[in-house]
Amino acid sequence: MSAAALPEPDGLGERRRPLVERFSPHDAGFDAAILAHEAALRAGEPGYLDPTTGALVFTAAYLAARGECCGSGCRHCPYGAGERVDCCETFCDGCPFTALDQQ
């Protein structure tokens, strides 16, 4: 899939945030991974390398462009139902969503 076919990050809205049960702010490497995800979205990349594990992780935009959930439990799946990671008010002063929410 080409980068041109990926939805703009702003078009994802709340769906760009991972589902809490799939990736929580309490998980190791959360902040770095969220920042890598946002950088990949802005660059139009289909994924990024997880800063902790080195695994390839698809972005919410790439997964949204697929058109449906594949059922693999992807970290940034835009189709899953449930609680999505919220703003820093409930986590920590260094939460990467603070800067994102102010854009």
What are the tens digits of pLDDT across the range 58-95? Answer: 998 899 888 888 888 888 888 877 666 665 444 455 55
Strand partners, 19: 84
Q: Give the domain extent around 34.
A: 14-101
Alpha helices by DSSP H, 1-103 = 9-12, 30-43, 60-66, 97-101
Torsion sign over Cα 79, 95, 11, 42: negative
pLDDT tens-digit profile of 32-48? 898 898 889 889 999 99
- Compute the distance between CA of residue 59 and CA of residue 57 in angstroms, rounded to an integer: 7
pLDDT tops 90 at residue 57? yes
Report the number of distinct structural domains present in the chain.
1
- Compute the distance between CA of residue 18 and CA of residue 32 in angstroms, rounded to an integer: 14
